[in-house]
Amino acid sequence: FEKKDLLGKRIMITAGPTYEKIDPVRFIGNYSSGKMGFALAEECARRGAEVTIVAGPVSCNISKLKSQVSIISVESCQDMYDAATELFPDTDAAILCAAVADFRPAEVAEQKIKRVGQTMDIHLVPNPDIAASLGQMKKEKQVLVGFALETNDEEQNAQHKLEKKNLDFIVLNSLRNEGTCFRSDENQISIISRDGQTDYDKKPKREVAADIIDELVRNINRQ
């Protein structure tokens, strides 16, 4: 028995890391593989949604999903911002699972930077906050879901992001839980909304995705 409770719904998901260029051969990035975002995309497609995934440079295998979801490949936060803000008005819900760089180098060197001197400084400037921008654009019937990746004061930080970015709920995962978050096949989450918090066991990302989508469907049906 397949639940088709997202039939006719359009969902956008951001996934993976962003790369912020330093010079033609180097970048600032992070360890996100894209596994969590693609598990969410697969679950949404399985339940009948029309899914667009805006993916940074992911390292997970995305070929089997190519026939089920539209994939827009981007590299930097700015690219992801441009794609996400263009797509969002036509969606019923967006899930922001990407690990986006909050800062980028102020200037990208045209040539490979040479090793001169004993130290080197890279001046960073802030990137746009995709989640907060979509939170401002959000219309009454749209549902916006964020993630919070924390290392300390997890619940307090997640609660702050929920409010600051105008999200309907936030999925908290902590790097303190071994074998979860970045690159792992499993994750352990809490879902925090204005109504309270639900804690889930550590489980495969596919099952974590199903828990998140159950909560998404409850939110969509409530709108």
The residues of the shown chain that bind ligand PMT, judged by CB under 6 A, are 14, 16, 32-37, 77, 96-100, 102, 127, 129-131, 146-149, 161, 173, 181-183
Is 147 annotated as a binding-site member? Answer: yes
Q: Which is nearer to ligand PMT, 41 or 148 (CB)?
A: 148
Q: How far is the CB of 61 from ligand PMT (least distance, A)?
A: 12
Is 102 annotated as a binding-site member? Answer: yes
Distance CA 102, CA 89 (A): 24
Q: Which is nearer to ligand PMT, 48 or 73 (CB)?
A: 73
Is 203 annotated as a binding-site member? Answer: no
Rg, C-alpha atoms of the chain: 18
Residues assigned a catalytic role: 30
Q: How far is the CB of 99 from ligand PMT (least distance, A)?
A: 4
Q: How far is the CB of 170 from ligand PMT (least distance, A)?
A: 7
Q: How far is the CB of 181 from ligand PMT (least distance, A)?
A: 4
Q: Which is nearer to ligand PMT, 70 or 157 (CB)?
A: 157
Is 165 annotated as a binding-site member? Answer: yes
Q: Are 132 and 147 in contact (CB under 8 A)?
A: no
Is 161 annotated as a binding-site member? Answer: yes
Question: What is the number of the residue whose Cβ is closest to ligand PMT?
Answer: 130
Closest CA to 12 of 51, 68, 62, 69: 51
Q: Which is nearer to ligand PMT, 48 or 175 (CB)?
A: 175
User: Can you say which residues are annotated as belonging to the binding site for CTP?
Assistant: 102, 112, 147, 161, 165
User: Can you say which residues are annotated as belonging to the binding site?
Assistant: 102, 112, 147, 161, 165
